[in-house]
Structure 1
């Protein structure tokens, strides 16, 4: 999750970084599809604690 979040929120030569809120929304939307829901839940909890 950390790698995905970092990739989405960092500028790349082929695209601009996403805002943090957009990256978190994408990760939340993909829970149960692309990402394990338990891992997403734990990641989002850690991100909320950091804020």
Structure 2
């Protein structure tokens, strides 16, 4: 019985860790997309200034 409880707890911890890693990965992708978009806007602004 004790081994079953330990196994279930380990499974819960592993599930939490992997779900948190997935959330972090999604946030990182969102941040990268925002930075790329911002760089594009800055380049357009510079191009407009030079015209």
TM-score after normalising by structure 1: 0.32
Say which one has the larger Rg. 2
TM-score, normalization by structure 2: 0.32
Q: Higher RCO, 1 or 2 (CA under 8 Å, sep at least 6)?
A: 1
